[in-house]
Amino acid sequence: MNDPKGRVRSPFAGSTAVRAETGSFVLVPGPNRTILVLSVSVWEELTRRIDGSFGAESAVARCWRAVSHEARMDCSGRITLPATLRRHAGIRFRVSIIGRNGYLELLRPGDGR
């Protein structure tokens, strides 16, 4: 459930071990009106690949960094979704969470893949 402040409860919130390891995430707009939730290490690896392919000062690399948002879980296990990403995904009050290979996708309910 997305609350009025744009926070969504993290699926990792119940595990203190996972919370300690994954307290910080990077949110980026995904394809088909989704929000991708990446671990910092996955985001850094993707950034290295983009920099290697296009150059660190390229328009592609600058755009990748500009649309990336760092997020941390609060003490209740919630992550705040920036308004720009909520608008991108069409998320208002409810959010669906889909686990993928090493990342999560957040999307508007009913937009399942």
Tokens 């707009």 locate to 29
Task: Indicate the pTM of the whole model.
Answer: 0.79
Which is more confidently placed, 102 or 71?
A: 71
Helix (H) or strand (E) holding 53: helix 40-54
CB 6 within 8 A of CB 69: no
Q: What's the CA gap between 48 and 51, in Å, rounded? A: 5
Architecture of domain 7-107: 3-Layer(aba) Sandwich (3.40)
pLDDT band at 12 (very low <50, low <70, confident <90, very high): low
- Stretch 66-75: mean pLDDT, rounded? 90
pLDDT at 2: 62
| Domain regions of the chain by residue span | 7-107
Q: Which of 50, 46, 45, 52 is nearest to 62 (CA)?
A: 50
- Stretch 57-83: mean pLDDT, rounded? 90
Position 26: which residue type?
V
Check pLDDT > 70 for residue 52: yes
